[in-house]
Structure 1
Amino acid sequence: MPRVVSLFLPRLPTDRLRRKSGDASPPPEAPLVLVGRTGRRRTIVALDANAQALGVTKGMAVAKAQALVPGLVIVDADPAADREGLERLALWALQRISPVVATDPPDGLVIDTTGADHLHGGEAMMLEAMVQKFAASGVEARAAIADTWGAAHAAARFLRRQTIVVPKGEGVAMLRPLPLAALRLDGEIITGLRTLGFETVGDLMDQPRAPLVLRFGPEIGRRLDQALGVVAEPVDPIRSPELVEIRRVFGEPIGAPETIARYTGKLVDALCLELEQRGLGARRLDLLLHRVDNSMQFIRVGMAQPVRDPKRLTRLLTDKIETIDPGFGIEIMVLVAVESEPLRDRQTISSLVKSSEPDVSDLVDVLANRVGGNRLYRFTPVQSDVPERSVARVPPLSPETGATWEGDWPRPPRLLAHPEPVETMALLPDHPPVWFTWRGVRRRVRRADGPERIRGEWWKRDAEMTTVRDYFRVEDETGERYWLFRSGDGEHEDSGSQRWFLHGIFA
């Protein structure tokens, strides 16, 4: 079943203006409106949250708004710039989220994420990440996912929550109580329906279609069927002329996995030739398969480094062919290098010379496309005295920074995500525990080394001005070794709680 995301940007014009103006933009607390002309009248066509909170509304005359809100910041609207900004956001979503993204003018994007949500941690986490990313860029956003474009569009705009996940098959129940405007109907049709007593989408669902078609035309039935999934509403993906794209149109639809794999290889060969002419390597590929029923299937693969090897790219794509449902046949295949980078030809190393560093990028690409790139990482040192802050996760093939862990005391290879409290008995202030109980198991200490005193980073947090940790390496009767610490110096109350914690395990 398809899954479609509607991304609603309720204040795109004013958000875009503030981002574009930079330091010259109006103060964040200043009410801002954009104005246009309706006939001879100057009216408000967009406004920010500050202006709305003060009683300004869309369509209000500028003179009335100025009288209502002294100090109102007024700027002429630029619809062309707003459309260009929306297209740039769509291209960003194309690279980061899904290969099927389109603009939903004037204030939204529509994204087909069928089969792609697991790469982002699930639907809920994917929507949260979208909204947070836009918020970090100064753009207010709300996102909803449902089985159809129409249902997701309605949920994002009328359920008034930042993220909404409409469960599969529950679009009808979600749509019923929503107002008529949720169906994307023309304003005159909505006015006529309200005159007849219709208020919600459910009111229309319960009525026979014929009288409505005779009075208002086929638009009502079409929008209802699109929202309910009875009629397909395919997403026509946006494309940039800068993207490298190879297309193949078939005289007869294809459907066998072997046939799809064969033509995938041909598309990859042609794409690599084009990339070579431009001196580029692919970092992300999208294989779009247009079915005869006017729907689309897609495969997306990513690479940790720029790649232009046809065999390698073909293998990554064909590994996912089993996820494709050809339906009644595929009539068009399109291969797009959504993300590419300059790639220099490497000098071929003789087979008699042993490479100093094995190339694991192929393995990284295979694993990343199977389980998700965000699940692959390696650890790198970070300059910090506090153990849990001295390590960070980075992509597997990120370059070395040269940073190292300093100090004479060894560190455990397994550091717990959070120190876990333990019960102990120890002499204060500098003696190790005699025994400790961790996760319900009591362990007697045979050997110990310490304490290693680590102080808080007072230059980062005032609360760590006087905090102290005393770490001990201990070995129990079975030979297992652990890393314990006492929060505090054992003498002063302001140095810590004096409780004991287990922070790591030695091999």
Structure 2
Amino acid sequence: MDHPSPLLFDLTQRRVVSIWFPRLASDRALRLRPVEGPFALTLRVDNTERIFCLNALAEAQGLHRGMPFSEARAFCPQLQARPADPPADARFLEGLRRWSLRYCPWAGREEPDGLVLDITGSAHLAGGEAELLADMRARLERAGIGARIGLADTRGAAWALAHHGPGIAPPGDGLAALAALPVAALRLDEGSTIALQRLGLRSIGALATAARAPLARRFGPELLMRLDQALGRRAEAIAPLVQPPHFAVRLTLPEPIGLASDVMAALKRLLDALCAKLKAHEAGARHLCLTLRRVDQGSQVLELRLASAMRDPARILPLLERRIEGIDAGFGIDQLRLEAVQTEVLHLQQTGPDMAKTERLDHLITRIGLRIGLENIRRFQRLDSHIPEGSFRLVPVTASRPCGDWQMARPRPLRLFPPEPVTARGATPPARFRWRRMPLTTGRATGPERIAPEWWTENDDWRSGIRDYWRVETHQGWRLWMFHTPQRPGWFVQGEFL
């Protein structure tokens, strides 16, 4: 009989760690500037300076959170204090969350001063659960951060042990580990905790054996929900961060469809629902993905990229209709899924002529992009530089917005190209010169316009120094933009006026 490998471990038994930092704010402040003796952070609440967080020495003097700072100084004259900084504390907690990812891939915040980790299948990498918790405590202690750690099968039980218990609950033995803890360990509000204590239900064990129906009638569903979450009767998610809204809708059909008109009718229902969700979150779609699942388990994916954020079904539906015409329905389509892969903030705005003009332009760009691809449509974007070739750049039309009319103090040619030398001499435009093997005769010249290089940029083409630009019109019909380099006498053509 084959024996299982010792490297295998049970992934079905969930194990959760809760880390509570009872003095997170003061520990952060003391890491930056250590002090000796009682220490507290203060925060102004209701026009009164109160203690926000304090160290162990200040607690030993009888001080506590929420206490007026004037009373705290009367009780403890040697108390040292600084203003609290809750945003900095939140950033510090996020840093601790990222640090905790060394132990497991899933870690979330328990606001305002705790972390929750799902270490299922990860403890063996540290030698076991006891060794993993010991390593956590040692590292936090070396960093000067006080922490209390709980380990159990559920998030609620781990939180209860971290705040009120000895620390570790054996797998599958949640009620036995929590029975002696007070009902406050169930993350209840203060009013519910006091009411339960008046009824004689002071521990979780007593609460678990009480009749559920009277408790639900008196305290509502939250009490039993917290109890069931702690005992593993109801699941509780562990998310590393608050997830953004997911803009996707799905429609499963009772019978397969294959006609383009039927697909468009189903798509219209999906699009109305998706745009309503986008409007509720003041967002607009820039990239839509439509997945059509066939009865043979195959699927087709159609993508639509928009030049600007949209959430108007009447404008988006005709654009998707062009893609629907070429689908292969096979033996029929039984499910449609529409997702806004890329979204942007789209606040409600007052309509007007300028907005209508912009919307028409975006609609035109989208229709052209359906044929040649939006990535192939670009626009000029103005840059803050007096260097001719550095005053603009080409960017994708979807990654920029029009910047209005370009105002130039001096005229610039519509066509620019790298400087091309011409056969000419002197500091003024020559009467005759050769350019691109063509003999040309100057008819009229306007200038000069002196442009100096930008010393803060590295442009090898401008290392030669200043340039004197002239607008030269020839008898042959060419209107050129030429420049002369005084430091190294020479003439070049860099642009052409059309």
Q: Output the TM-score relative to the length of structure 2.
A: 0.46
Rg comparison, structure with higher value: 2
